[in-house]
Structure 1
């Protein structure tokens, strides 16, 4: 099991799952967590009294009491790989232009009826962490730690080992539940993530690089982080040293309560670089309850694609601040469509809970129950309104995602447009739209390209160029264009200068 990489093309760094060590070996460790953190005297505001410095918690007490409930998890499994027929000795060192390279390749392929191609199972091994939440052997860890595992072994701090059964794993939240046949086991105390504060001290216990029962400490850097992997988890960000093998281990607060499960790191090198993420224990508890009862977890689905509301979009849609989730497309026949949600709507609250960034929405919806009704406070064409949606099941087959709005212009936008021909509409599956023949000026700078189909402006469907010109003429700072490129739809903010 190797660390799981979460790729994001806009980020030089990669989000890496901190959970499993590959069987090829760890190598040399070149970095040590700085660890030394000192409480500084607080600054004094204008008329306010000085903040009293807090003493560093005694982490030894937490470790002594709850450390025995933290376990090391070893995993063995197999993965199928497709590769060429094994090379002759020395061929791996031959350059492609070496006259013997092609000879060896053809000779070996000639010995096989399949032309030298084979698929075989390769053994894999990995390690991670976990913690006991029930004295009768229920253990929480990360789903990626036990993914594709054929055998899972749990090792306690007193060196006892047990074969573990995977009761269930939920890839959406990266939570897995294990059971071992044992009784009277030490257990952790679960806290509430909602009570956790940014800047609060936290402690991690796990098995980084296979070093069992390693303790690291830091502070909570942020809460409710959305990561670029379409996750439904509002992560806790910390600066606690977390490395491969720490995955699935507990994150404790200063009262010795588990507030999160260490899951991922943000790194350029593959090792800890000061930013780590934990799954809130509130989320883990909810998933655990479902898995213990049914063997699986269910998540709700609204049926929309959303994007971030930046200042340009806020100006275009006349929002008082750049917050919310901008609906770029709506799944045809899905829960949002049935509730009346439209492309161009900005979702600002769900059941009274604020949606500040677009990532807040999937986190809230994904942790709701299928069939549950939610109240959506939205902003539509300059006015607030409320809708009620009955959520679907995320595991159900989804329908086609389509937009309900359409259209834009030239002049200040820098676009040359023409109406779509009937055959073009049929091919694109659209009722209306204007084809971008040429993009320059503000629109080109915003990323609009020739061949795009423009569907709406500021959330209002536009059916002809005259409407576009009129809308742009009334705009002050920017406009939001909904474009379709291929099968994808996205809002593009265009600064008019």
Structure 2
């Protein structure tokens, strides 16, 4: 995909996510969902949520004196560490193009504006970590943890954020497909049926315990106009189990390494079913015995549906150096190979 095509896709889906939620909350449409979640959990999530201010905030434009310009959302994990979406902290540089800001200013729910310095990021996952200096950490009134384990379709969730720069607002809903893909990131996303608008990107997607199950990443734009701000109930989030790996690596000061098997795949018809066959084979799969045209059946007894599914499995379930069992079909025979995964 060309850079211009990817930019176009990002304009369509990169949105961040509830002006609609504010209206729905005001009219009581979400009261049943909210009632099922303890008030203390909602309050903690709200207090831990921060707004990511526009990088032009300090210019205080004469025509909008004193206006608070919020471009995205984030949350306080612990010890001053702020997590948000990488694209919510990017800016355009006239010489180098899109860059990640070394420092951002964040807004607490009780309207403290404080700086945060870059710790680490992953464009691959659209996740970035900043840290508030110790002198300002007392202004962060709550923390929220990542949830352990994976999520399930139908699970009750809510998000807190700054849709269209407003907020913080809350939006309630349920999870849909927990294994879906967009062209904006190279990993799976969680689909959530929550009211979401531009401005919620980077905010936490919380379970009924107030734990982060995802980081708000994008919405599907359902209407086309000249505005760059959009709302939708079709929202997508980076899974917490992936985001936590990025955050942990950033806190440890280590680059994030992902497993590589060394195969390129192509879709082929296997009877009436579409499966993935090896188009090209490299190391370490080649040394393990996998050959071109082998049909990939499963990895460690997990049935592989397509190339995205394999990539997702390697990212989430494995580490470089780990051995995995790969089942393939070669002509009319099923074979199993042990591959020691490379890193990259």
Whole-Å separation in 1 of the counterparts to 2:340 and 2:112: 48
> Could you give the per-residue CA deviations for residues 173-205 of structure 1, whole angstroms, max 9, x where no partner exists?
1111111113454101321351x2211221011
The 1:262/1:5 distance shift into structure 2, 3 A limit, reads farther
| SS class of match (1:224) | coil
Residue correspondence of structure 1 range 300-449 to structure 2 within 5 A: 300-308=259-267, 313-315=269-271, 322=274, 324-331=275-282, 334-367=283-316, 368-394=318-344
| SS class of match (2:55) | strand
Which stretch of structure 1 is more off in the superposition, 221-230 or 287-296? 221-230
Structure 2: stretches of 5+ with no match in the other structure:
57-68, 91-98
Deviation (angstroms), 1:242: 2.0
Deviation (angstroms), 1:60: 4.6
Deviation (angstroms), 1:56: 5.8
Match of 1:414 in 2: none
Residue correspondence of structure 1 range 170-249 to structure 2 within 5 A: 170-182=122-134, 183=137, 185=140, 186-194=142-150, 196-229=151-184, 231=186, 233-249=187-203
Match of 1:76 in 2: 55
> Could you give the per-residue CA deviations for residues 420-455 of structure 1, whole angstroms, max 9, x where no partner exists?
xxxxxxxxxxxxxxxxxxxxxxxxxxxxxxxxxxxx
Match of 1:283 in 2: 242
Match of 1:266 in 2: 220
Is this contact kept in 2: 1:167–1:295, CA < 8 A?
no
Is this contact kept in 2: 1:237–1:278, CA < 8 A?
yes
Whole-Å separation in 1 of the counterparts to 2:279 and 2:7: 23
Whole-Å separation in 1 of the counterparts to 2:196 and 2:221: 11
RMSD, matched Cα: 3.2
The 1:326/1:37 distance shift into structure 2, 3 A limit, reads farther
Whole-Å separation in 2 of the counterparts to 1:56 and 1:355: 40
The 1:272/1:30 distance shift into structure 2, 3 A limit, reads closer
Deviation (angstroms), 1:33: 7.1
Q: Does 1:297 align with 2:253?
A: no
Match of 1:145 in 2: 88
Whole-Å separation in 2 of the counterparts to 1:201 and 1:5: 35
Whole-Å separation in 2 of the counterparts to 1:251 and 1:59: 16
Structure 1: stretches of 5+ with no match in the other structure:
21-28, 40-53, 78-124, 395-497
| SS class of match (2:231) | coil
Compare relative contact order (CA 8 Å, sep 6+) and give the higher one, 1 or 2: 2
The 1:8/1:143 distance shift into structure 2, 3 A limit, reads closer
The 1:180/1:260 distance shift into structure 2, 3 A limit, reads same
Residue correspondence of structure 1 range 105-144 to structure 2 within 5 A: 127-134=71-78, 136-144=79-87
Whole-Å separation in 2 of the counterparts to 1:228 and 1:152: 27
> Could you give the per-residue CA deviations for residues 24-81 of structure 1, whole angstroms, max 9, x where no partner exists?
xxxxx89987674698xxxxxxxxxxxxxx996247543223210011112428xxxx
Q: Does 1:253 align with 2:196?
A: no
Whole-Å separation in 1 of the counterparts to 2:286 and 2:8: 29
| Structure with more of its chain in helix, by fraction | 2
**Over alpha carbons, which structure has the higher Rg?**
1
Match of 1:163 in 2: 115
Deviation (angstroms), 1:295: 4.6
> Could you give the per-residue CA deviations for residues 391-440 of structure 1, whole angstroms, max 9, x where no partner exists?
2233xxxxxxxxxxxxxxxxxxxxxxxxxxxxxxxxxxxxxxxxxxxxxx
Is this contact kept in 1: 2:20–2:195, CA < 8 A?
no
| SS class of match (1:337) | helix
Is this contact kept in 2: 1:19–1:128, CA < 8 A?
yes
TM-score by length of 1: 0.55
The 1:217/1:230 distance shift into structure 2, 3 A limit, reads closer
TM-score by length of 2: 0.78
The 1:38/1:341 distance shift into structure 2, 3 A limit, reads farther
The 1:383/1:304 distance shift into structure 2, 3 A limit, reads same
Is this contact kept in 2: 1:216–1:241, CA < 8 A?
yes
The 1:267/1:383 distance shift into structure 2, 3 A limit, reads farther
Whole-Å separation in 2 of the counterparts to 1:133 and 1:305: 37
Is this contact kept in 1: 2:16–2:219, CA < 8 A?
no
Is this contact kept in 1: 2:118–2:130, CA < 8 A?
yes
The 1:67/1:286 distance shift into structure 2, 3 A limit, reads same
| SS class of match (1:362) | helix
Match of 1:18 in 2: 15
